[in-house]
Structure 1
Amino acid sequence: MDRQFLAMRAAFAAACLLLTTAPLVAQTAHVVGRVEDAATGTPLPAAVVRLVELHREARSHEDGSFTLGAVLPGRYQLTVQRIGYRSVTRVVEVRVGMDSLRIPMTASPLQLGATVVTGQVSERGAADAISPANVLADARLDRVLDGTVAATIRGTPGVAMASMGPATARPVIRGLSGDRVLVLEDGQRPGDLSSSSMDHAVAVEALTARKVEVVRGPMSLLYGSSALGGVVNVIRQEVPSVALEHLHGGMSVQASSVNDGGTVGGYAEFPLAGFSVRAEGSGRLAGDLRTPVGRLVNTGVVSSGAALGVSKVGDWGYSGLSYRFYGNEYGIPGGFVGAHPGGVDIRMFRHTLRSETDWHPRTGRFESVKATATFTAYEHDELTASGNVGTAFDQTQGTFELVARHAHTGIAEGGVVGMRAQYRDIAPFGANRSTRTADWSFAGFVIEEFGAGPLRAQAGLRYDLARFVPLEDRNIVVQNDTLPVAPRTFGSVSASLGAIYSWTNGIKVGASVSRSYRTPDFNELYSDGPHLAAYSYDVGDPRNNQETGVGADLFLRIDRTRVRGEIAAFANQMQGYLFPRNTGELGRVGERWKFQFTNEDATLVGAEGEVELTLAEHFVLEATASYVQGTIAGARDSIPASPGQPARLESRFLPLMPPLNGRLGLRHETPQWSYGAGLRLAARQTSLGDFETETPGYATVDLNVGRRFVIGSRLHSLTLRIDNLLNAEIREHLSRTKEIIPEAGRNVALLYRVQF
């Protein structure tokens, strides 16, 4: 086994050395033009102009003009984006002495023309994605930006939020959570432990994101076994991918009344000695959360982050390095069974190195070859009221990914072929007696697209191999059986077939079927002991099997000038679904509920949708709705109480499923102003897992107003938001603290951004 690990590490190190560059070719032209309002002809400053294939980007000046210098002659896709206007995409023929371009942009209250890269063979409009997807960017992101990634996207169709306090919020997509939903940063895993337990915060700052993409449904082909529910991708372009000619960047400041919180963050991108450089910093400070019935004690947050990226960009692509630090100290409240009276404090740190090369060969079959290597060191300490560390986790993780994309070849219109390797070492300490574990995984995949007309299809295949090796000798007691921890190997094939058909007038229909797969995580196999901050006694099972799912998606999408929307329905049959079943017993240490990780066959079905309709000039009606139900196969019966034990009901429903929920709102929006009011709704949740209690429904009113203005070529924006205007008492079903205190009360939040 030692030789296998040495071979794996040697292969990983060799793969990381494959990052390459190529020389920049001369004989160039200049692309110049002017961005203007289509109705009035007035210039539009602060618009982002981009040549997609060449990773070139510029911003329009006060007179609307822009310049992209040193461009090789050829045909390229040019995109232009500005807040309050429809995005423009056109193909331009670049040549020496070409005429100046005129780019008229049409004002629109809808976010039309948004592009998505997550889960796609190549960057394309969200309306053309084969999987249901949402993009939060610009004004839309400003209206919902919150203290965590999960809180920011929770109003997105199909998305809910699970938490043990405001700092620990994690997204739930279509009823799937934890290790089944991937949160990515620029397409790569952040290397934290947020997916392993509800008390572990996501180590990603939301304030400095350029945009957030949410893709719903199995994404196993591109992202591996932890993407059964979907993917959330926070995009910043940490390694600069565009050639910079001038300094530009942005700064954001946000304040909120509900926790006396303040956040500041910013970034700057600039050229330096022929390189593109990106520097970023952020800080967050918040106190205890106010609710309609009092404060939720010990929920304060102190966090900071910094990043530096440097790259060389040319017509051949780009190659660069980045470093990111993220630190977060936050509280977990107490007051319920198993909890410390004063709660628990958590201290976590993350250091990540990334190397990234995207090479665009001018000849050959592939149009781009991208290699990405990351190394992350993560530390997580859980402290008692005395300041002592009760439970701790250290994790080191290294990954290497190589993805090659091709355009038209044979019968395929485009596709990708790639591989991914990962090595991870997880070391628990303290009261938690989980076993130190090393795991490695390797995957190879291919995805091809067919058809260039109204019908486009996509087919893919992936194989994953993973091995978990306990680094300690221990026994685990599982239902009176004493089991030794032992190495486990998992491997499986994932596959999908999907299609999208474009009717006239912007109406599209799509469908997909997929076979997905997930390996158990280390805690589902080898945990055995109290988890301090989670207030639980967790027991794994070394015999647990992998999950496999067969699912189907069907959606109807419309993308017109005055209306945009999507309705999707899904069904997923899961074999060996792994979840922590509440046994109704108390663990051996303290009075924490005992949770046993177990396999059960399960079915998840549901539907979700959203629509934005322009009722009159500048007035938009918006609505969303989401529903999911998870059931366990087979009849479930009540089990009589045994001496000294509580009665137990084995429910036919999966635990921690969000109730029917949605939002209805009206918004008035112009390029300078926006006003909106909305009603958030959730039904009573009566489909309960073992030992769950019903959660009442609620309705709450939200307001927002925004102002955008330009000084010079700098775009400024102010967004004022009032959440829970009527200070309603809200109990979220997926919150562990709902039994002791409700969610946040009335909150006034102010966000200021400037882009330069």
Structure 2
Amino acid sequence: MAHGETSQTPDAATRTLIPGAALEPVFVTANPLRDNELFAPATALYGDALALRGADSLGATLNGLPGVSTTTYGPMVGRPIIRGMDGDRIRLLQNGVASFDASSLSYDHAVPQDPLSIERVEIVRGPAALLYGGNAIGGVVNTIDNRIPREPIKGVTGTVDANYGGANDARAGAAQVEGGNGQFAFHVDAFDRETSKLRVPGFVRSDRQRALDGPDAPQPVGSIPNSDGRWHGGAVGTSYTWADGYAGVSYNGYEANYGSVAEDDVRLRMHQDHVAVASEVRNLQGPFSQLDFDFGYTDYEHREIDNGETGTTFRNHGYEARLEARHRKLGPLDGALGVQVSQNTFSALGDEALVPTSQTTNVALFGLEEWAVNDALKLSAGARYEYVKLEPTAGGNEKFAGAPERDFNAGSVSAGARYRLDPAWSIVGNVAYTERAPTFYELYSNGPHDATGQYLIGNPDAQKEKAVSTDLSLRFASGPNKGSVGVFYSRFSNYLTEFNTGRLVDDNDHEVPAGTDDALNEAVYRGVRAEFYGVEADGKWRIFEKGAHLVDVELVADYTHARNVDTGEALPRISPLRTTVAADYGYGPFGARAEMVHAWAQHRVPENDLPTGSYTTLGLTLTYAFHAGASHWLAYVRGENLTNQEVRYASSVVRDIAPEGGRSVMVGLRTTF
């Protein structure tokens, strides 16, 4: 791992950040007690490690971490998948609260965040619904920035990142400046990224897809049509800090224009405004020793433009507020209580509207308690209750007339234990029961979904999704050597998923014969019993150290098996067994990393899905770190897929028409001052 990556083991989270980084490496996601003792399997990226993994999307940046894959819809679009779960089962947070967009609705909708604007990413694998609601039934990805400074700043500091290259000739840059007088602090940042079409080895479409296309279909070669794009944005923020806390406000904006790789003439133009307020007060008198408050309001819109004309406009605006209160010890118990309130309104306007305008309101109470029984054993337990109400409005569209209002009471409970075998080894286990209310699109969909080639029909009578999940891991941490191996299992009694009815229909849900241009597979949402289980392992070992010479080896492996219990059929878009083997060499300011990734073929796919082949990629990164005055510099060259392999992710809905990039080289420079 490069400087700024922690994984699994709690002790790993106490390492020091590189000079110029603004955040202390303490896990804050799913851990309101801030004690570096995270029971759930988790990984964090920050500093140099985040810069060296940076890609064109959040999903691509995190892809390959233990248990994490990505949706991908071309190089610009990628939403993280955790243990085979995606969409509204993975909660994407920005500084601990929701930043509303449309990325969970459709695979061609990008997450409106650029990795260059993020200082730290925390990924919690497994159910985090206890603290973040039913939409975190599969896990949480929390991106953290310092747009509201949380610690006193004296003087002026900053960071500048720039890189060029890759398989799509990306030109990307970002800069941030922070300053203060020890009490008042400010933050300003800006970023810009522009890419060309993605180069790929050979045919764009897979062998299996070309056979289905027939001999007369045009077959692009060498690059994916309409895969270019640009996005930019920035933020301003300020805060007042004192010895026992801070309070501040920030604004950030985001603009994007990128192509749909499934439709040569379709562009997506995206805009988001986000306002945040945050405060923390420590060392209080009375029953509560600390209060944390976070609030975010988002106004999001994107337009899908076909041949220069707007077809559908998606809008999502709303707020989320969260208050956590850490109480003083109650006998042996250390814990926190919290309340969370959110409301957002989503609309899809146009001739091909997929869902009605829908308002979702959520109110929740939660609590978490820990008990350090002795030096070896620590226990945790928690519960959450949330009320969810969904209110659709037809807005004059007859196909949504009569859609019923729905409301749900969802509960979650969890328990965990950590037993330290000795100072280096520990065993950690968790068990949780979680409930998730259906989303508006699972209830009310009634329209064409060109991104997946389906006409989707919701189930207005859908019930809550319920799951029992457990995981068990063995962790090791001793000096530079760290590792973890774990197993997980989740069983759903009502897993909401799409089922093809076997009918081919047009955009108005009228049946059409096979072979009709632009025919869609009719699909309905239905609850089934489902199970997910698998294994995750990662570790890093120092195998050589002499003077300034260091050699570390790293291994990451994960496997997820997911199936419909009722039929035995595989669930869609599940990544196969994957392994990453890497060697890191350091000599003073010089560094080198060689990495090999192998993914096995994925033949366990639902009926009518195409399997994916295996692939092996090789990567090489060279770094040089140096100081110039008070500034810290990192120069790097990163080569990916150096053997120019055809790579198609099983987790991508467009894997057979848009593979990953071919051989590429990127050069970059990062400085902090």
TM-score, normalised with respect to structure 1? 0.80
Contact 1:186/1:238, CA 8 A, preserved across alignment: no
Question: What residue number does 2:487 align with?
Answer: 569
Q: For 1:713 and 1:454, how far apart are their aligned partners in 2?
A: 43
Residue 611 (structure 1) aligned with residue 539 (structure 2):
yes
1:304 Cα deviation after fit: 0.7
Question: What residue number does 2:34 align with?
Answer: 123
Per-residue CA shift, 1:470-519, capped at 9, x if unaligned?
A: 11278999xxxx99410011112100000111222311110010011211
State the secondary structure of the residue aligned to 1:525. helix
Q: For 1:741 and 1:573, how far apart are their aligned partners in 2?
A: 32
Q: For 1:604 and 1:79, how far apart are their aligned partners in 2?
A: 32
State which of 47, 63, 81 in structure 2 corresponds to 1:154: 63
Question: What residue number does 1:362 align with?
Answer: 284
1:535 Cα deviation after fit: 3.9
Q: For 2:482 and 2:474, how far apart are their aligned partners in 1?
A: 11
State the secondary structure of the residue aligned to 2:61. helix
Q: Structure 1 counterpart of 2:538, which letter?
A: E
Structure 1 residues 534 and 366, CA gap change in structure 2 (3 angstroms): same
Question: What residue number does 1:443 align with?
Answer: 364
Question: What residue number does 1:642 align with?
Answer: none
Q: After the TM superposition, which residues 180-199 of structure 1 pair with which residues of structure 2 at under 5 Å, given as runs?
A: 180-199=89-108
Residue 595 (structure 1) aligned with residue 595 (structure 2):
no
Q: Structure 1 counterpart of 2:179, which letter?
A: F
1:343 Cα deviation after fit: 4.3
Q: Structure 1 counterpart of 2:413, which letter?
A: A
Residue 313 (structure 1) aligned with residue 241 (structure 2):
yes
Q: For 1:303 and 1:697, how far apart are their aligned partners in 2?
A: 33
Question: What residue number does 1:418 align with?
Answer: 338
Question: What residue number does 1:525 align with?
Answer: 443
Q: After the TM superposition, which residues 667-682 of structure 1 pair with which residues of structure 2 at under 5 Å, given as runs?
A: 667-682=584-599
State which of 317, 330, 353 in structure 2 corresponds to 1:409: 330
Residue 578 (structure 1) aligned with residue 496 (structure 2):
yes
TM-score, normalised with respect to structure 2? 0.89
Q: For 1:445 and 1:668, how far apart are their aligned partners in 2?
A: 46
Question: What residue number does 2:612 align with?
Answer: 695
State the secondary structure of the residue aligned to 1:246. strand
Q: For 1:182 and 1:130, how far apart are their aligned partners in 2?
A: 18
1:534 Cα deviation after fit: 4.6
1:616 Cα deviation after fit: 0.8
State the secondary structure of the residue aligned to 1:115. coil
Q: For 1:254 and 1:699, how far apart are their aligned partners in 2?
A: 25
1:237 Cα deviation after fit: 2.1
State the secondary structure of the residue aligned to 2:469. strand
Residue 219 (structure 1) aligned with residue 128 (structure 2):
yes
Q: Structure 1 counterpart of 2:90, which letter?
A: V
Q: Structure 2 counterpart of 1:505, which letter?
A: P
Structure 1 residues 624 and 467, CA gap change in structure 2 (3 angstroms): same
Structure 1 residues 496 and 79, CA gap change in structure 2 (3 angstroms): closer
Question: What residue number does 1:81 align with?
Answer: 16
Structure 1 residues 475 and 581, CA gap change in structure 2 (3 angstroms): farther
Q: Structure 1 counterpart of 2:657, which letter?
A: I
Per-residue CA shift, 1:663-711, capped at 9, x if unaligned?
A: 1111112451211111111111111123111111111111111111011
Q: For 1:546 and 1:228, how far apart are their aligned partners in 2?
A: 12
1:133 Cα deviation after fit: 0.9
Q: For 2:97 and 2:118, how far apart are their aligned partners in 1?
A: 14
May I ask how many residue pairs the two structures share in their alignment?
Answer: 627
Q: For 2:598 and 2:25, how far apart are their aligned partners in 1?
A: 27
Question: What residue number does 1:748 align with?
Answer: 665
Q: Structure 1 counterpart of 2:68, which letter?
A: V
Residue 237 (structure 1) aligned with residue 165 (structure 2):
no
Q: Structure 2 counterpart of 1:426, which letter?
A: F
Question: What residue number does 1:389 align with?
Answer: 310
Q: After the TM superposition, which residues 140-539 of structure 1 pair with which residues of structure 2 at under 5 Å, given as runs?
A: 140-271=49-180, 274-293=183-202, 294-334=222-262, 340=263, 342-384=264-306, 386-412=307-333, 414-430=334-350, 431-451=352-372, 453-472=375-394, 484-539=402-457
Q: For 1:476 and 1:489, how far apart are their aligned partners in 2?
A: 23
Per-residue CA shift, 1:81-125, capped at 9, x if unaligned?
A: 2449xx9x9xxxxxxxxxxxxxxxxxxxxxxx9531111133344
Q: Structure 1 counterpart of 2:16, which letter?
A: Q
Q: For 1:207 and 1:150, how far apart are their aligned partners in 2?
A: 13
Q: For 1:741 and 1:475, how far apart are their aligned partners in 2?
A: 34
Per-residue CA shift, 1:355-406, capped at 9, x if unaligned?
A: 112112432222211122221110011111x211111111111112111113
Structure 1 residues 80 and 736, CA gap change in structure 2 (3 angstroms): closer
Q: For 1:473 and 1:155, how far apart are their aligned partners in 2?
A: 43
1:170 Cα deviation after fit: 0.9
Structure 1 residues 560 and 476, CA gap change in structure 2 (3 angstroms): farther
Q: Structure 1 counterpart of 2:273, which letter?
A: H
Please say which structure displays the higher CA radius of gyration: 1
Structure 1 residues 568 and 538, CA gap change in structure 2 (3 angstroms): same
1:415 Cα deviation after fit: 1.2
Q: For 1:124 and 1:291, how far apart are their aligned partners in 2?
A: 46
Identity %: 29
What's the RMSD between the two structures over aligned residues?
A: 2.4
Q: Structure 1 counterpart of 2:379, which letter?
A: A
> Unaligned 5+ residue runs, structure 1?
1-45, 48-77, 90-112, 335-339, 637-650
Q: For 1:562 and 1:436, how far apart are their aligned partners in 2?
A: 53
State the secondary structure of the residue aligned to 2:52. helix
